[in-house]
Structures are given as structure tokens and as C-alpha cells.
């Protein structure tokens, strides 16, 4: 990203525009996070210099959709955004407008969000919710321990990273049905080990990134 092309966020930014948005203004498009990944990101960002962090955030910008209420809805990389918010290292992040829907109806907006798989309407327990249940800010996102487990398994090579939206949530929901665990450091690490062979089960073959061998 060319930093000189990034404009301060406002609801009139056109599709494709790069911008700088205050992280506290970002509206999530999901109910929960895996906070173990957030903690990892916090440590990652704190280890960077100011210049390194800025370069990283330019390269890993957040895709947003401008909603009818003029707010920027984040449609991916919620964990990075929340981690930046927690660190307090900076107030802004780089964003790119995927669609400007400020003149759309609410129904049209949510139809697009669902059609493009830009929203994940399930809570921390994997239960379906309505769009109105989504918190207004990143700080209110729930902690889904199975999203954390799926992230831990991905790091351990249990399945391959793919471009399918909300991949880790999908794996988490699969494991939610078959692998209870205690959300402690020891319990989490043990669950990762137990989950690795489960990732190769035929029952998981429909999931994105399913291991081929």
C-alpha cells in the first residue's frame, strides 16, 4: 500500500479506496473471537518497532464495508484489529473499502453481507444469531475457545490455510461436537494434540483445508 494514497476514513470513501480508520470506530461482522490468537497478535505487535508495525499494518490492511448507518464494518482480520486496540500502540489501522452501502437499505446491506460471506452469524457457542446481536465494537466480542483451538491446530499443521471465509470457525464448530476440553494452558495444549488426528477423519473431509494425506 502506498501510504500517501490512504485517506482518513469518512462514509463517502468509494469502493477500492484505501484509508486510515480509528480502530475504536470499526464495527465487527461477527460475534466472537479466539482470544488466544488475539493474545499472540498482541505480543507480536508489541515486539515491533513503530516503523515495523506501520509497515505490517499497511501490508495487512483490513477490508471494510461502509454500512447504511455510515459505519465501517470489518469483514476480515478481526483478531488483528482487536489486538491493535488492546496494545494501545496506535489509534488507527489501514482499511480498504470493498463496498460502500451508505445509500442502501438495511435489507440490501445484510443481503450482500450474507451473499459475500462477509458476516458470521454465530455466537461463541456456535449458535445462530440475528445481525442485530452483533456487538457495536471490537471490545465487546465474545471469546470462543473452539475458535482458539482451531487456530492452534492450524499453527500445528493440522489443516491447511485456505481462502474460505471464517475457516477457523468452521473447524472450531466441527471440534465443538466431538472434543470437550478445559480452557487452561494445559487443557488447550492437550486438546491440540488430541485434535490433530481428528482433522484427518473422513467426517472432517468437507472442511476447508482438509489434509490430503
pLDDT of residue 213: 66
Residues 14, 42: one domain?
A: yes
Please report whether residue 211 resides in a domain: no
pLDDT of residue 165 exceeding 70, the answer is yes
pLDDT of residue 1: 46
Give pLDDT tens digits for 83-117.
999 999 999 999 999 999 999 999 999 999 999 99
DSSP string across 16-81: T-EEEEEGGGPBPSBSEE-HHHHHHHHHHHHTS-HHHHHHHHHHTPEEEEE-TTS-EEE-S-HHHH
64 and 150 belong to one structural domain:
no
Each residue's pLDDT tens digit, 44-72 = 999 999 999 999 999 999 999 999 999 99
pTM: 0.93
Last residue of a domain, one of 103, 125, 143: 143
Evaluate if residue 149 carries a pLDDT over 70: yes
Question: Which CATH number do you get for residue 109?
Answer: 3.90.1530.10
Same domain, 49 and 138: yes
Residue numbers of the domain that contains 111 = 3-143
Amino acid at each position: 500500500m502506498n501510504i500517501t494514497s490512504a485517506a482518513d476514513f469518512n462514509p463517502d470513501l468509494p469502493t477500492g479506496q484505501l484509508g486510515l480508520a480509528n480502530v475504536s470506530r470499526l464495527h465487527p461482522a461477527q460475534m466472537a473471537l479466539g482470544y488466544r490468537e488475539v493474545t499472540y497478535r498482541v505480543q507480536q505487535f508489541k515486539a515491533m518497532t513503530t516503523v515495523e508495525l506501520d509497515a505490517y499494518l499497511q501490508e495487512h490492511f483490513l477490508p471494510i464495508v461502509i454500512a447504511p448507518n455510515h459505519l465501517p464494518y470489518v469483514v476480515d482480520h478481526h483478531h488483528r484489529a482487536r489486538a491493535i486496540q488492546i496494545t494501545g500502540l496506535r489509534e488507527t489501522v489501514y482499511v480498504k473499502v470493498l463496498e460502500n452501502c451508505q445509500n442502501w437499505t438495511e435489507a440490501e446491506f445484510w443481503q450482500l453481507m450474507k451473499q459475500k460471506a462477509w458476516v458470521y452469524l454465530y455466537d461463541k457457542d456456535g449458535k445462530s444469531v440475528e445481525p442485530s446481536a452483533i456487538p457495536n465494537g471490537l471490545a465487546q466480542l465474545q471469546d470462543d475457545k473452539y475458535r482458539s483451538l482451531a487456530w492452534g491446530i492450524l499453527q500445528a499443521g493440522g489443516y491447511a490455510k485456505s481462502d474460505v471465509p471464517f475457516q477457523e470457525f468452521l473447524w472450531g464448530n466441527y471440534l465443538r461436537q466431538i472434543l470437550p476440553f478445559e480452557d487452561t494452558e494445559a487443557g488447550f495444549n492437550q486438546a491440540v494434540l488430541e485434535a490433530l488426528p481428528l482433522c484427518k477423519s473422513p467426517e472432517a473431509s468437507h472442511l476447508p483445508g482438509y489434509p490430503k494425506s
